[in-house]
Structure 1
Amino acid sequence: MAKDNRIQMLPAEWRASTTLSGVYALRMLGMFLVLPVLALYAAGLPGAADNKALVGLAMGMYGLTQALMQLPLGMASDRFGRKKVIYFGLIVFAAGSFMAAAADTLEMLVAARAVQGAGAVSAAVTALLADLTRDGVRTRAMSMVGLSIGLTFSVSLVLAPILTELVGVPGLFALTGVLTVISIGVVAWATPNPQISKLHEDAEAQPARMGEVLRDSRLLGYDFGIFALHASQMALFTALPFALVDLGWDKVQHWKVYLPATVIGLIAMVPLVIVGETRNKLKQVFLLGIACVAAAQIVLFAGLGSLWSIGLCLAVYFIGFNVLEASLPSMVSKTAPSDLKGTAMGVYNTMQSVGLFSGGAVGGLLFQHYGFSGVFGFCTALLLLWLLVAACAPAPQPVKNLGFAVPPAWQGRQEPLRQRLSAVAGIEAVRFSSDGQTVYIKALQEGFDQTAAEQIISGAN
């Protein structure tokens, strides 16, 4: 197989990538849309009675059930079929959204958020996308999903306050439910059906090999990082909307604060990530991202005296947040063995969900008892600890992962193929899928003789 820029996606692969990215984005839109407005709405429901701890639970509860259901639903898709599990998960998520729209007490809202999270289809969507794409274009297809999530997050922060003025928070939940129902139709009629469904080690989790991932201290560092990033994010949005209201800004005006901050964050993120990836400065850019989110929390902890200071903090925060959201999955991919990349990402995604739950629950509890200083003090301590852990960790190697179909001439001859490939300049590791149909290569970004590797695999050399 050739490099990604030599391989054109087939029409069916484009259709699979775009439709499943859309499904992923629509589901995340439902989570992100309510993020900047949910705390204020929840605090006004019957049963709140200044119970910020329960408000925080409403913010983060979906993360707990998402963490619990993600792996089981991914495994179920192997047994019962990808699309059937995706339909089930989306129906559950839609039901939770409509329940949240109808909730008239805070306790009902917490329960509805738990149902929303239980529709955890990300693993099944990833597995379906892997079934529908060839090894040589799969990484590009997965990056399209990641890009759709990042854009959805930024757009949601701005749209949420505006839409809230038009339809209210219950309307946001109802809109989420409707969009989810539409996405079921997209999967049914627009997304191709896979001819063969099988385990793809580079994209799916292997529960039996989870221990190998959990014993890798570098991967555990990244898992702690995504936990800290999303725990602090959820805690931030549990308290920050109240600070803006205290400064005289109604919730429907909050988009005026979020819009410039998110735009600055997106614009600044692009060159930083490019420098990190292309100039072997990934660790330096990574540490800068952590420093940005930590610095923003430190200033918020020191005081919330003016709207300008909050706006500046958010701009710095989103620069760091966007850099970290883009670089963390790349660092996991570079560090994990090629045939365990899916398992490593499964653990990583689970820790992200646990972070969302923990940030909401702990942030709400601290807000109730210690106010803004308690919340932002917690976020500051968590992020500074992550900065220390990341600074002490080794820099990831400047490598890339490639997958190639094993042609008939090499079937059953894995060891000779491994030996031939290991002698190629720039190849760091060679692994095979469990069925022997795919060879995974981890190679240096510079100095890798890809042409020689392709010739060996094709049998031309």
Structure 2
Amino acid sequence: MKLTQLEKKAAFSLAGIYSLRMFGLFLVIPVLFIHAQGLSGFTPILAGLAIGIYGLGQAILQIPFGYLSDRVGRKPVIIVGLLIFAFGSVIAANAESVWGLILGRALQGSGAIASTLMAFAADLSRPEMRSKIMALIGATIGASFVLALVAGPWLAGQIGFAGLFWLTAGLAMVAIMVLQWVTPSADVRVGNLAVLPAQKQLQAVLADGQLLRMNLGIFLLHLFLTAIFVILPQQLIAKGLPLTSHSLTYLVLILGGFIFMLPALIMVEKKKAHRNGFIVAVLTLVAANLLMGFLNSLTGLIVGMGLFFISFNFLEASLPALVSRLCSTENRGTAMGVYSTSQFSGAFVGGAMAGAVLQYGNYQLVFLGLAAMSILWLFATFGIKPVATNL
């Protein structure tokens, strides 16, 4: 069965809106800590907070935004969220202190429209076609993340750090135009995707040990991501790699990670060896953090980054698919909502934690802490049970 023209229009327009917003959130991550050092009031802990605080707003507000969209409609809520995101970008672009930067990033994250976009996709699609549309949206998220990490350092050199935020604000306006002029309209179908957790559904999800392992995994994975980017850009420069070369370095490492990850993902799926795949991936994270923290050379950082991106790409692709399979159909949206909240919470904790450790210790302590958390995650993966593939 194929997507109808309306479903195609909805899928590509909503995926575009999602990706424009995520691109803007991630664009500054590879350069924020470096440029924050030129702002008044800079401390490592505040710069780390500025990197990760978008996750706090996302974690807290995505469910209230979703509930509101059930009452007043999807498009008005998405427009308000994008306007908040754009306003935060403007504040960050004009920030002269690190506190202004934190405020702008917090507002960027407060335009929390992820659950509303998913619910809108459900409104505009038949139940049997939703997995295809969700897969398309998921693919654009991954692509926007990769593009943002690669483009951020290069664009910062072309238009300046403030220019990144002005660009992000402009992209939010483009997203609003796409929503208004391209995305079809639809009646709200309250709860049709179960993206908003009812109490019984939430209790069932939180009581499921397998789902808790997946939520712990995505929490730690994005904690690692933001923590590493508090440390990494400055350490690359200190060890001889100029900021102008970071974009190409990230591009090579991310694409290399994808090339190595893809056959591993196919093999794990074919042999139904999810537990073993996770064990190897988490062990790779342990090795990556130890190399980046203690080899004390540019080679150590780059090899460690390469291992990190192999593992990150594998886990980022595997975790949401397993969450979807592990839960019942009626709890699937709730499970994905809890999963997304765990992801954004991890991003916030990672930035704040790495900044705090860097302020009172050194970067090697950060990587030591990440390696220790990876080992704890490893113990949790031992309890992963075989996952059915026909759900």
Corresponding residue to 2:136 among 117, 121, 144: 144
Q: In the alignment, is the contact (CA less than 8 A) between 2:230 and 2:354 conserved in 1?
A: yes
Q: Which letter does structure 1 place at the counterpart of 2:220?
A: A
Match of 1:280 among 272, 277, 280: 272
Query: Could you list the runs of 5+ residues in structure 1 that have no partner in the other structure?
Result: 1-6, 401-461
Corresponding position of 1:233:
225
Q: Partner residue of 1:24? A: 18
Amino acid in the other structure paired with 2:4? L
Question: For residue 306 of structure 2, what is the aligned residue in structure 1?
Answer: 315
* Partner of residue 371, structure 2: 380
Matched, 1:113 2:77: no
CA deviations over 1:106-162 (Å, ceiling 9, x no partner): 011011111111000000000000111111110010010111111111122111111
Cα distance in 1, alignment partners of residues 244 and 56 from structure 2: 29
Matched, 1:35 2:29: yes
TM-score by length of 1: 0.83
Return 5+ residue gaps in structure 2 as ranges: none
CA distance in 1 between counterparts of 2:128 and 2:30 reads 39
The yes-or-no answer on 1:340 pairing with 2:354 is no
Structure with max Cα Rg: 1
How much identity, in percent, do the aligned residues show? 38
**One-letter amino acid matched to 2:155:** L
1:328 counterpart letter in structure 2: L
Q: What is the Cα deviation at residue 195 of structure 1? A: 4.0
CA RMSD, aligned part only? 1.3
Q: How far does residue 312 in structure 1 lie from its aligned partner after superposition?
A: 1.5
**Among 88, 93, 101, which residue is 1:101 paired with?**
93
| 1:362 counterpart = 2:353 | yes
Give, as a single letter, the amino acid of the residue that structure 2 aligns with 1:384.
Answer: I
**Structure 1 residue 388 displacement after superposition:** 1.1
Counterpart-to-counterpart distance in 1, 2:44 and 2:380: 31
In 1, Cα distance between equivalents of 2:270 and 2:191: 31
Residue identity in the other structure for 2:150: V
Q: Secondary structure at the match of 1:100?
A: helix
Q: Which moved more, 1:96-105 or 1:188-197?
A: 188-197
Q: Which residue of 2 aligns with 1:242?
A: 234
Deviation readout 1:234-263 (Å, 9 max, x if unpaired): 110001111111113332221232121011
Q: Deviations over 1:10-58 (max 9, x none)?
A: 011011111111111111001111111111111221111xx10111111
1:52-91 equivalences under 5 Å are 52-91=44-83
SS in 2 for 1:36: coil
Task: Please give the alpha-carbon distance, in whole angstroms, between the structure 1 residues aligned to 2:288 and 2:224.
Answer: 11
Corresponding residue number in structure 2 for 1:324: 315
1:316 CA displacement: 1.2
Counterpart-to-counterpart distance in 2, 1:198 and 1:44: 48
Distance (Å, rounded) in 2 between the aligned partners of 1:272 and 1:80: 45
Is residue 2:153 matched to residue 1:161? Answer: yes
In structure 2, C-alpha distance between the alignment counterparts of 1:20 and 1:301, rounded to whole Å: 40
**Larger proportion of strand:** 1
Native 8 Å contact 1:261 1:314 kept in 2: yes
Please name the residue that 1:122 is paired with. Answer: 114
Residue 291 (structure 1) shift: 2.1
| In structure 1, distance between residues paired with 2:121 and 2:92 | 30
Displacement of 1:296 in angstroms is: 0.5
Q: Secondary structure at the match of 1:392?
A: coil
Greater fraction of residues in helix: 2
1:419-438 aligned at under 5 Å gives the runs none
**Correspondent of 1:14 among 8, 26, 50:** 8
> 1:284: how far off?
2.1
How many angstroms apart in 2 are the aligned matches of 1:333 and 1:310?
35
Contact 2:205-2:334 at 8 Å conserved across structures: yes
Match of 1:258 in 2: 250
Q: How far does the alpha carbon of each residue in 1:193-240 deviate from its partner, in whole angstroms, 9 at most, with x for none?
A: 114523124x51223221111111111111111111011111100011
Which residue number in structure 2 is paired with residue 296 of structure 1?
A: 288
SS in 2 for 1:194: coil
Match of 1:172 in 2: 164
Aligned 8 A contact 1:205 1:345 in 2: no
When normalised by structure 2's length, the TM-score is: 0.97
How many residue pairs match? The answer is 390
1:148-205 alpha-carbon deviations (Å, 9 max, x no partner): 111111122111111111011111111011001110010111011114523124x512
User: Does 2:261 correspond to 1:269?
Assistant: yes
Tell me which residue corresponds to 2:186.
Answer: 194
- Alignment partners' CA distance in 2, 1:145 and 1:91: 21
The answer to whether the 8 Å contact 1:97/1:176 transfers is yes
CA contact (8 A) 2:288 2:308 kept: yes
Runs of 4+ in 1 over 6 A off after TM superposition: none
Q: Which has the higher contact order (CA 8 A, sep 6+)?
A: 2
Asked if the contact 2:272/2:387 (under 8 Å) is kept, the reply is: no
Give the distance between the partners of 1:289 and 1:239, measured in 2 at CA.
22
- Please report how far the alpha carbon of residue 269 of structure 1 lies from its aligned counterpart in structure 2 after TM superposition: 2.1
What do residues 381-434 of structure 1 show as CA deviations (whole Å, max 9, x unaligned)?
11111111012232322333xxxxxxxxxxxxxxxxxxxxxxxxxxxxxxxxxx
